[in-house]
Structure 1
Amino acid sequence: MLVLSRRVGERLVIGDNIVLTVIEVRSDGVRLGIDAPRDVRIHRAEILEAVKAANVEASAVDDDAVDALRELVTRPRPAATVVVDPAPGNAEQR
């Protein structure tokens, strides 16, 4: 990890097209400005971690859900009913 000291208004250049600028220094944190191309994705790490954790939780399957899906798959389907209209050639399947 590279650790640098910067003052308000000073910049840090990453690669050829990303510039970080120190906007403000407070007692509780630092405000940074990031100038980068639109195709560069920039995310706060804590948000990414929260989204990943939520996705893992949402994809977790309990036994009740598995049993309910099995029942849906194995349950016999009702037979189709054909309704015939008295006019020739008009049949409808339900």
Structure 2
Amino acid sequence: MLVLSRKSNESIMIGNNVEIVVLGVEGDHVKIGIRAPKEVDIYRKEIYLAIQSENRAAAINPVSIDDVSKLFKK
């Protein structure tokens, strides 16, 4: 893990097109901004983990073609 210190309004570059900007620090809370191309998905970690879990569950429990067909009839 790379550990860096930054002050308000300082930033970190990831690759050529992702910039992490420290917008402010209040107590133990840090407000950050992320500049990235629209095609780069950005999630809070807990949301990312939930998406991964749902994807795994969907892969384990495939939907039958009849169930898919019913969705289009609604």
Q: What is the aligned-residue RMSD (CA, Å)?
A: 2.0
TM-score by length of 1: 0.54
Unaligned runs of 5+ in 2: 62-74
The 4+ residue runs of structure 1 with deviation greater than 4 A are 54-61
State the TM-score, normalized to the length of structure 2.
0.66
Q: State whether structure 2 residue 2 is matched by structure 1 residue 9.
A: no
Larger Rg computed on CA atoms: 1
With a CA cutoff of 8 Å and minimum separation of 6, indicate the structure with the bigger relative contact order.
Answer: 2
How many residue pairs match? The answer is: 61
1:72: which partner in 2?
A: none
Q: Which runs of 5+ in 1 are unaligned?
A: 62-94
Pairs within 5 Å for 1:13-92: 13-54=13-54
SS in structure 2 at match of 1:2: coil
- When residues 25 and 38 of structure 1 are mapped into structure 2, their CA distance, relative to the original with a 3 A threshold, is same
